[in-house]
Structure 1
């Protein structure tokens, strides 16, 4: 199957499932917020429920198995030379199915990339297939979920003087693609500890902002991601995250992401996450390890 046909089929399947799931949500009662505080996680950079850098097996919101929950988020990451803003909405249905829609906007502030603007839209779906985060405390069974993210780039802005308007001109094979992932999340209430492991199958360069595949490597790669969280109390979670990255492009010596975060859940309607993130090199045009603050606000219903 041709890559473009595969992406079209994947995106149509995601859209059909979203339409069907929203129809189901219409016959469910209003959001009951029946789950424990913080069990929906925060919102990940690509719009899924979980940590900041990596999706977890958690389902967004606080809706119980008889209801649903809705979240909206805005996230800002600022490094020495770049800014990344993500905004989006998500719905968790019956504590089993999650659908999300997000937009990422990446801008530069240092020449020669001070006019750079990259954007992409991300449509996500996640399905819980085994386990329960809270009720499986008497076994080592984690909550397990599978998911997919369809991503599509906008036109590159700010590099018109160089004749560059598409990620393909930077060496990417495609300007759209699909990430697939499997996440397992275990909450150990007796030890106030949350552990998550995610395996992601991806071709995405810098999460897809620089396209998919490249002049160095075209194939899907299996990439591990890890999160650890310590529950200081029922409203505060301190943690670490690591996310491995591919190296597909000659113009981008891509490095792993990692961060240290503090998430605050004052109630079930709002959460705030503050992190210090290390994003590695972004492009060879500005070869500098990018570090900076990450702030994310999530509103839940």
Structure 2
């Protein structure tokens, strides 16, 4: 096992892309390159416009209401232009529905349409990407349907803008991101899509900012607004404060404090998540 791990690590280093450290972001919970909660306009991995890059990740989150989330996935970045991703989230319902969990599968695609978040420093134009995420809820009939959700599957559409400002805050690099999502997903799709209050697409914003404290440390915050489609339970925005450590060019570890508001029958769902990622 140790020999296999060493061979894998050596292979990743040998074939690593040539983009700058952290320019592929980390991986958000639905599998796209970005922050923990929202896609950014960046493309996964370190591949340049002549290379293929990508990432693999695992995320574990827990809230004070005994909810847990485990997400695994992979993403492939093609020539710093196109990203394809796949992930599965497993949401444990704790004592709300003891012993039950919901599995949500997500397939995503993202295309960089213009700009470069890093290298076009002489322009205020951000990097802009458009994306879509198809989501399928394997356990729709167990809980989401009973709560009033209309569909087990749905597609989220988004446009993302990202810009890195070198030395913008007392010599530290500043990364800004803004998104618009068109979605019907309840709790990212974990509670199905659409509901008795609303069953049509609406557009919601998300924003984030991050500062590079050093070559190996990134700290930031995000907020993502979400639909409130189900009359039985109100849904709130999601936000976090995160810190990412890059102990090696190909490895990142992210820890965060999260505030998800109300989830199902429980208010004030704060907690934490820890995510590990391998990039190439």
- Do both proteins adopt the same fold according to a TM-score greater than 0.5, normalized to the shorter chain? yes
| Residue 104 of structure 2 is aligned to residue 120 of structure 1 | yes
Partner of 1:189: 166
Would you say the 8 A contact 1:62–1:268 is kept in 2? no
Report SS of the residue matched to 1:168.
helix
- Per-residue deviation, 1:32: 4.2
Q: Of the candidates 84, 88, 100, which is equivalent to residue 69 of structure 2?
A: 84
Is the counterpart of residue 165 in structure 1 residue 149 in structure 2? no
Give runs of aligned pairs for residues 104-119 of structure 1, distance below 5 A: 104-110=89-95, 112-119=96-103
CA distance in 1, matches of 2:143, 2:75: 29
- Corresponding residue number in structure 1 for 2:151: 174
Contact kept, 8 Å, 1:32 with 1:67, in 2: the verdict is: no
For residue 287 of structure 1, what is the aligned residue in structure 2?
266
2:39 corresponds in structure 1 to 55
Match of 2:213 among 232, 239, 243: 232
Alignment partner of 2:55 out of 55, 71, 79: 71
Distance in structure 2 (CA, Å) of the matches to 1:240 and 1:287: 24
Range with greater deviation from structure 2 (120-129 or 264-273): 264-273
- State the match for 1:6 in structure 2: none
Unaligned runs of 5+ in 1: 1-29, 157-163
Shift of residue 300, structure 1, vs aligned partner: 1.4
CA distance in 2, matches of 1:170, 1:240: 31
Q: TM-score, normalised by structure 2?
A: 0.91
Question: Alpha-carbon deviation of 1:267?
Answer: 2.2
The answer to whether the aligner puts 1:44 opposite 2:28 as a matched pair is yes
**Uncovered stretches (5+) of structure 2, i.e. residues with no partner:** 1-13
Alignment-derived partner of residue 237 in structure 2: 256
Please report the RMSD computed on the Cα atoms of aligned residues, expressed in angstroms: 1.2
Partner secondary structure for residue 207 of structure 1: helix
Hey, which of these two has a bigger chunk of helix by percent? 1
- Report if aligned partners of 1:70, 1:90 keep a CA contact under 8 Å in 2: yes
Contact 2:42 2:162 in 1 (8 A): yes
Partner in structure 2 of residue 202 of structure 1: 183
Q: What is the aligned length?
A: 262
Corresponding residue of 2:197? 216
Q: Which runs of 4+ in 1 moved over 4 A?
A: none
Question: How far apart, CA to CA, are the structure 2 residues paired with 1:240 and 1:166?
Answer: 31
Say yes or no: does 1:297 pair with 2:276. Answer: yes
Cα distance between partner residues in 1 of 2:221 and 2:211 = 9
**Structure 1 CA distance for aligned equivalents of residues 216 and 73 of structure 2:** 23
Deviation at 1:168, TM superposition (A): 2.3
Checking the alignment, whether the CA contact within 8 Å between 1:33 and 1:61 is kept in structure 2 is yes
Mean Cα deviation higher: 48-57 or 262-271: 262-271
Whether the 8 Å CA contact 2:16–2:250 is kept in 1: the answer is no
TM score, norm. by length of structure 1 = 0.85
Kept after mapping to 2: 8 A contact 1:33/1:268? no
CA distance in 1, matches of 2:118, 2:139: 44
